[in-house]
Amino acid sequence: MKSGPELLRSTIAYSALGQRADPPIIARLMAMALETPGLLSLAAGFTDNATLPADFIRSALETLAARAGEPEHLQYGTNQGRAGLRRALAERVAAMDAALAPPGEAAAVPDAAALEAAAFVTNGSQQALYLAMQVLCEPGDIVLVDRPSYFVYLEMLRGLGARARSLPLGEDGRLDEIALGRMLDALSASGEAARVKAVYFVSYFSNPSGRSLDEDEKNTLAHALLSRGLAVPVVEDAAYRELYFDSEYKARGVLSLPAWEAFPKLYTATLTKPFATGLKTGFGICSDREWLEKMLHVKGHHDFGSANFNQAVLEHALAAGDYDRQLARIRPVYAQKMGVLHGTLADEGLASLGWKWRAPSGGLYLWLEAPRGLDTGAGSKFCHACIGAGVLYVPGDLCFGDDAPGNFIRLSYGVLGEGDLAEAARRFAGVARAFRA
């Protein structure tokens, strides 16, 4: 007969959300990269260690420490975020869009004061994305996503019980207007259009594809949705907008495009990738007051305010010009590292084996298409062979909302040095040759 503590043992009855919860794939990739000796990771999108802004952080700390009076930056902040940081971010976004607006559409760019009131600071842009979906989606709801899309976001949708449907692309890799119309009409005919709660895309130097959406594509999507009565919330993920190599991608965000005027809009971005990943600070700007308030209500339950100290450091970096100096420092570094990875793959003859990819003009990723019929997905023989050879990648099948092909791969050149990038590329190409043979 059992006795003692065993009598007290019971089964936990988890909620539907708890039952859907699985370990995040990104966490496993990051842990594998950090814990496996000799493994060269082209998977997790870490940033370059050598160029992290220790000098600019030191300057910010010295300035904050020298301020007279109480050190308010060491106290709790507000749920919406520091006013000075929100103002600086709003001015920055407004200036980027205003510089790109044609004269006839200059009035469409919201002024900085309006954007500041609509801005909120989060624990990385991932929290902003989660808040947006948490207040919009019930299990079974549909979110339209770019193809391919940010796999961590897709995993988050699955955790919430929502379904991702990928926007169709043409042979040129751009949004296919005709196929999009058919897709939306099919949703209406099946009665599922009412379950479409949002549309999401990574618009600049995309994670994972490195591609950017031009204004024509954004406007085409808006017109297709609006003509079918689907003025659903749009979430534009602009995390990599400022991580260009030579020049910015000349397309305004949805906050400033007249075609999206009737839509509730959320523009998200981050200060993590462009400046210091350890500060883990992102932001959102939401055009719809009710949506914003609901996200802030839920955020209050999460943390009642992202780290005030981190925000103060970044506020100083923006005001002092150190943020822009850091961008000027890292852009050529990432361009060079991309060139090393891209060039080594080319020199190793990967294209002659039937692989396809394009060198991006910004961001942190190469997007590779393997020969048709070669399975590179999670758990595939190719994936295990790469790990055995000491190189790790993100399987591309994770990056599709539906109808996922099994022959794509995402490689990141963010964290490894040039020598390790070249070696990782050689290891990867060696596996590719073995599978061709």
In order of their start, the domains of the chain are: 22-51+325-436 (3.90.1150.10), 56-320 (3.40.640.10)
Instruction: Give the whole-angstrom CA distance, residue 212 versus residue 300.
Output: 33
Q: How far apart are the first and last CA of the chain?
A: 62
Instruction: Give the whole-angstrom CA distance, residue 280 versus residue 274.
Output: 11
Instruction: Give the whole-angstrom CA distance, residue 87 versus residue 115.
Output: 8
| Lookup: tokens for 379 | 């758990």
The pTM of this model reads 0.94
Q: Where are the alpha helices (DSSP H) in 194-321?
A: 215-226, 289-302, 308-320
> For residue 200, which phi and psi values (nearest 5 degrees)?
-135, 140
Residue-level pLDDT, tens digit, the chain, 437 residues: 555 555 555 689 888 888 887 777 666 666 666 677 789 999 988 899 999 999 999 999 999 999 877 899 999 999 999 999 999 999 999 999 999 999 988 888 999 999 999 999 999 999 999 999 999 999 999 999 999 999 999 999 999 999 999 999 999 999 999 999 999 999 999 999 999 999 999 999 999 999 999 999 999 999 999 999 999 999 999 999 999 999 999 999 999 999 999 999 999 999 999 999 999 999 999 999 999 999 999 999 999 999 999 999 999 999 999 999 999 999 999 999 999 999 999 999 999 999 999 999 999 999 999 999 999 998 899 999 999 999 999 999 999 999 999 999 999 999 999 999 999 999 999 999 999 86
Query: Quick check: 307 and 272 in contact, CB under 8 A?
Result: no
Q: Residue 66: CA atoms inside 13 Å, Cβ hemisphere, count?
A: 7
